[in-house]
């Protein structure tokens, strides 16, 4: 009974889980605690992500396999702050999120009716886009510390960058302000690669919303017409 209830609400649970790392990170007391909070909160996202895409066994197994590798790398970097491990962890995290977002997007596109399940699945995809680009930005920043200009007056306690999540919160913030085309200007892309990434994310976010809203409105109208035509 509980399993069935949780499975029905899996997209709502994933959406809530995706918000937790972003909300909790500003509450950190020290850099160590901040990284640990991000680790635990993001681990929750990954595990619920597996549950959310578990409608088919092979999909769930693939997601779980990537998840295990991600968790091993993430927690290993607590013990060994190795540059190669950090970069590999970022790549695997991004791959997992891309895989999850793709499965959820397919679920939304294949639906012929609009329900709360469809809406929350589509919202999860949108938030996952922000997370995916945050890892892209972190990866590029780790390769080239001059790839971004960060206002030191607004971010006085910038982390050293010795862990996968050391700067991820800052790039999550930048990613979502870019995705929504808000752009405060406190973090600026200062290399050709980061400019392309930022502009691509902004276009992706806008195109996703336009296409998604059009589809959901079309399905809703179709549902309304079918409902009126029924005797």
Q: Could you report the per-residue pLDDT of 5-56, keeping only the tens digit for each?
A: 677 788 898 999 999 888 876 665 445 566 677 777 888 888 888 878 777 7
Tokens of 47: 């595990």
Compute the distance between CA of residue 187 and CA of residue 149 in angstroms, rounded to an integer. Answer: 6
| Residue range of the domain that includes 68 | 2-229
**Mean pLDDT value across residues 190-210:** 92
Q: What is the pTM of this model?
A: 0.88
CB–CB of 21/38 below 8 Å?
yes
- The residue with tokens 């006085």 is 156
Q: Residue 183 corresponds to which tokens in the numbers above?
A: 């752009």
- As given in the structure block, the two tokens for residue 90 are 């970022």
| pLDDT for residue 64 is more than 50 | yes
What mean pLDDT comes out for the span 163-172? 79
Bridge-partner residues for 148, per DSSP? 189
- Number of domains composing the chain: 1
Residue 60 has which token pair?
A: 């769930």
Which of 214, 144, 223, 136 shows the shortest CA–CA distance to 175? Answer: 136
List, for residues 65-101, the tens digit of each pLDDT value. Answer: 888 888 888 777 777 777 788 888 889 989 999 999 9
Instruction: Match 């930022």 to its residue by tokens.
Output: 198
Task: Tell me the average pLDDT of the chain.
Answer: 82
């Amino acid at each position: 009974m509980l399993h069935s209830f949780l499975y029905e609400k899996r997209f709502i649970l994933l959406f809530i889980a995706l918000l937790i790392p972003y909300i909790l990170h500003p509450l950190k007391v020290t850099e160590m605690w901040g990284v640990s909070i991000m680790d635990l909160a993001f681990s929750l996202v990954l595990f619920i992500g597996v549950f959310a895409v578990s409608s088919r066994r092979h999909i769930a197994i693939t997601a779980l396999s990537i998840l295990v590798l991600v968790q091993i790398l993430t927690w290993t970097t607590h013990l060994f702050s190795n540059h190669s491990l950090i970069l590999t962890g970022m790549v695997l995290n991004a791959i997992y999120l891309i895989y999850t977002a793709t499965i959820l997007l397919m679920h939304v596109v294949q639906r012929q009716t609009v329900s709360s399940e469809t809406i929350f699945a589509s919202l999860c995809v949108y938030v996952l886009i922000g997370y995916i680009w945050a890892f892209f930005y972190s990866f590029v920043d780790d390769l080239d510390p001059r790839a971004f200009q960060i206002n030191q007056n607004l971010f006085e306690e910038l982390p050293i960058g010795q862990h996968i999540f050391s700067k991820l919160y800052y790039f999550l913030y930048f990613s979502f302000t870019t995705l929504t085309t808000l752009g405060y200007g406190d973090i600026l892309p200062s290399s050709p690669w980061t400019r392309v990434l930022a502009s691509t994310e902004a276009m992706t976010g806008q195109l996703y919303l336009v296409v998604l809203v059009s589809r959901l409105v079309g399905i809703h109208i179709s549902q309304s017409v079918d409902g009126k035509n029924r005797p």
